[in-house]
A = this chain, B = another copy of it.
C-alpha cells in the first residue's frame, strides 16, 4: 500500500492538516514543524494522491492536447513544446491523436475534458461551430487556427508567403505558381489568400500568378503538382509545405529538369529533411515548439482566470481582454537555401519578359 498523508501525520506526531499545510503552503506553519514534517514525508517517500487532491480542489494539474497526426514531425514539434512548458508549470499532458478524422476530434476532446483543466486543439479539422461548442465546456485554446473569441496562436502565414514572393521577385521571377494544400486546410486558405492578394497590393504589373489547385499535403502531392507547374510556364513554384516542395523537386529531377536552374521551388515549415536533400530547400521556418509553449501559456492564463473569477470579482478589464479571445501571431522566417535562384530561361530575365508578352 502507498504511504498516505495519515501515515506521515502519525509518524511525525502532528495532525493531517498540518502535514497538508507543511507541504502545500509552508508559510502557514512554524519553521520547526515544517522542517520536521517535510523531512518525515521525504523519508517515507510520501507523494500526495492526485485523485484525492483533484477531487477536492477541482483542478487536475493536467492539460489535454489534441493533434491530427503524431507521426507528422510538425505535430511532434508542437507537442514537444507543449510538453516542456506544461512540465515546467507543474502540469502533465494528455495527448490524443485524431488520425486526421474531423468527426472523432470533438469526441476525443470531450472525453478528455473531464480529466483535464483545459484543452489545446492543434490544427483542428472540425468546424468553427463545433469548436465554439467545446469552448463552453472547458477552457480551450487553438493552435495553428484562428477563431474569433477563442484564444488562438497562429503563424504569420501571410507574412511568410509575402517573404517568399518578394524573394522570388527579387530574383527576377515574373511567373510564379502556387501548389496548394488541402481545400479544407485553414493554413492553406491563409497562404492561398496571401498569394492571391499579392498581385493586387504590390505594384508589379507584369507579375503573373498561377494557382495550380489543391494537392494532398504529402510528397506525392508535390509529384503530382510538378508537371502542372512545368506546363504552366512558371519559372518558380511555391509549395504548400516542405513535403509538397520535395515532391516537386523529385519529379523535376526525374524529368531531367534541375532546380533552381529550370525551376525555383519553395516550401513551408522548414522540416529537418529540407536540409537533407540537394538542392537544400528554400522554405519558411515556423517556430513550432514556440507555438506549443505559447499555447500552454495562453491556456494556463485562461485556467487561472477561470478559477479566480469564481472567488475574486475584481479583475482589471484589460487583463480580461488580454487573454480571453486574444490572437497571437508568431513571426516566421524565410530560410533561403539552394532551391531558389535567378530564372535562366533562354536569354535570362529578359527572355522571361518576352515569354510573358507572348502570353505563354
Contacts and interface: CB of A to CB of B under 8 A. Distances in A.
Interface in A81-118: 83-84, 87, 92-97, 99, 108, 111-112, 114-115
B96 A83 contact: yes
Contact of A72 (B76, B99, B219): B76
Interface string A251-284: 0010000000000000000001101111000000
Contact of A96 (B92, B112, B247): B92
Contacts of A111: 92
A338 interface: no
Contact of A276 (B71, B73, B246): B246
What number of copies of this chain does the assembly contain?
2
Interface stretch (A10-18, A45-53, A174-182, A347-355): A45-53
B71 A77 contact: yes
Nearest to A249: B276
Given A51-B55, A115-B92, A219-B276, A69 B60 contact: no
Contact of A54 (B51, B80, B219, B247): B51
Given A71-B73, A72-B76, A55 B62 contact: no
A335 interface: no
Interface in A50-80: 50-52, 54-55, 60, 62, 69-73, 75-77, 79-80
Given A92-B115, A94-B94, A95-B93, A80 B87 contact: no
A281 B114 CA distance: 46
Contact of A92 (B49, B77, B112): B112
Contact of A273 (B54, B96, B253, B276): B276
A156 interface: no
A354 B72 CA distance: 48
A115 B50 contact: yes
A268 to B, nearest CB: 16
A71 to B, nearest CB: 5
Contacts of A77: 70-71
A164 B273 CA distance: 24
A321 to B, nearest CB: 27
Contact of A55 (B55, B76, B84, B278): B55
Contacts of A250: 276, 278
B96 A94 contact: no
Contacts of A47: 114
A278 B140 CA distance: 44
Contacts of A272: 219
Contacts of A69: 80
Contact of A70 (B49, B76, B92): B76
A79 B73 contact: no
Contacts of A48: 114
A253 B276 CA distance: 12
Between A70, A80, A99, A115, the greatest number of chain B beta carbons within 10 A of the residue's beta carbon is seen for A70
Between A84, A95, A275, the greatest number of chain B beta carbons within 10 A of the residue's beta carbon is seen for A95
Interface string A198-225: 0000000000000000000001000000
A65 B164 CA distance: 39
8 contacts: A51-B55, A70-B83, A80-B97, A87-B108, A93-B96, A219-B276, A250-B278, A273-B273
The 9 A-B pairs with the shortest beta carbon distances in the complex, nearest first, are A70-B80, A51-B54, A95-B95, A51-B55, A273-B273, A76-B76, A51-B51, A83-B97, A70-B76
